[in-house]
Amino acid sequence: MDDKSKEFISEKFKKANQASPFKRKLMYYLDIKNRSIFGKVGLGITAYILLFNSIVYLWKGKDHPMNNFMWRIQKQNGTLSKEMLEKEKILKEFHLSKFKNDGGKKIWLSGVDE
């Protein structure tokens, strides 16, 4: 018997044990965190965003908009509650009164002048 017959490995076995291109790329980019500060910062920001959104989702529930994008979609669809619409109205009035030009006051530095 020659050595090739002893080393026979089926193509199916090779494919099952090879990493997919997606997995190889994912592992490469995850390995960047060990090599550079940019990878560590990027991974930290991603983890923070995922953790923050998860906590807000668990705390407020699935019907609460987590960001301005979802707020606008829910407002357009008419699925915002009356309480949330009232909060929006109060905040809009506050911002209009805060940045209103009052006789020559610097509107952008109004907090400093008061």
55 and 83 both lie in a single domain: no
What pLDDT sits at residue 2? 54
If one counts the domains in the chain, the total is: 2
**Domain range for 38:** 9-61
Render each residue's pLDDT in the chain as its tens digit; 114 residues: 555 555 666 666 666 667 778 877 877 777 765 677 777 788 889 999 999 989 988 998 887 887 788 888 989 999 888 998 999 999 888 888 877 755 555 556 555 545
Rg of the chain, C-alpha, whole Å: 28
Distance CA 69, CA 40 (A): 28
Q: Are residues 23 and 54 in the same domain?
A: yes
Look up the pTM and report it.
0.45
Tokens (6 digits) for 56: 């807000």
49 and 83 in a single domain? The answer is no
Asked if residues 101 and 113 have their Cβ atoms less than 8 Å apart, the reply is no
Q: Answer whether 110's CB lies under 8 Å from 103's CB.
A: no
Do 70 and 97 lie in a common domain? yes
* 34 and 13, same domain (yes or no): yes
Domain membership of residue 1 (yes or no) is no
Are 13 and 57 found together in one domain?
Answer: yes
CA count, 13 A, side-chain hemisphere, 14: 5
